Every structure is written in C-alpha cells, then in structure tokens.
Amino acid sequence: MTDVVDPSTRARMMRGMKGRDTQPEMAVRKYLHATGLRYRLHVKRLQGSPDIVLPRFGTVVFVNGCFWHRHKGCRYATTPSSRADFWSRKFTQNVRRDSGNVSALQAAGWTVLTVWECQTRDPLLLDELFWRIVTAAHDK
C-alpha cells in the first residue's frame, strides 16, 4: 500500500511527534494529580528519563505509545508496510532500550510501572495505576 501523503508532508508530520507532554501522558498526570499524588517529570538523572517519578513511593511510570513501544496484542501497534526493514529495526531498538531502562531502574531500587496509550482512555485502568503506586510503597 502506498502512502497517502507525499514524502515531504510525511516528514513534517513525523517531526511534529513529540516525546513529552503527549495526550496520554497528560491524561495520566492529570489523573494522578487529582488523586493527590505529587510527582516529578522526566528526571534526567534516572535511566530512560521516566515520564513520571514519584520519589515518595519509590516508583517511576513510563507512559508508552502503543505504536512506538510495541504494545503486544494492541490494535494501535500496527507496522507500516513500506520500509519494513527500517521499521523492524526501529521497533526492536525501542523495545530493547525500554527493557534495559526498566532493568536498570529496578536494579536501582525503583518500582517501574508502564501505562500504555490505549489504557489511558479507561478510568478504571487509571484507578488501578493509582492503587499499584500506593501499594508498591507498602510492599518495599
């Protein structure tokens, strides 16, 4: 299947995708703040600069896009049909980097939670995230 837009338009669209303050990330942040939890954003001294850091609970949260981070079984984790080799390498690198970041943070004593883009649309899953954060502190 050919692309529906010309290459320059596609390049502009891809450049416009940001890694911070995405809609899913903002939804999680808004929810956590409304529950009374306070956090830090994108702490660079931590491996992978987690999206949300809750020092009080010893927990970090990554809000991952289903497409870029390959959410298994998700309908949003599609693979482009053009340039298959490029995308395969890109997605493999992303997954490998994510796994390394999680391992390093866990080795440093952090509880690591991942919220997928598709999960941010469900208030019950955000409630579950809140309780996972709060109970993680008691489990340590």
Q: CA-to-CA distance for 96 and 94, rounded, in angstroms?
A: 5
CA-angle at 95, arms to 27 and 103, nearest 5°: 90
Q: What is the pLDDT of residues 61-111, one digit of tens each?
A: 999 999 999 999 999 989 888 888 999 999 999 999 999 999 999 999 999
1 has a pLDDT exceeding 60? no
28 has a pLDDT exceeding 90? yes
**Do the strands 52-54 and 111-116 form a parallel or antiparallel pair, or are they unpaired?**
unpaired
**Percentage above 90 pLDDT, the chain:** 73
- Tell me the average pLDDT of the chain: 90
**Domain 20-139 falls under CATH 2.40.10.10:** no
Q: What ranges do the domains of the chain cover? A: 20-139
Amino acid sitting at position 56: R
Instruction: Name the least confident of 9-23, 31-45, 93-107.
Output: 9-23
Total-model pTM: 0.84
Q: CA-to-CA distance for 126 and 39, rounded, in angstroms?
A: 16
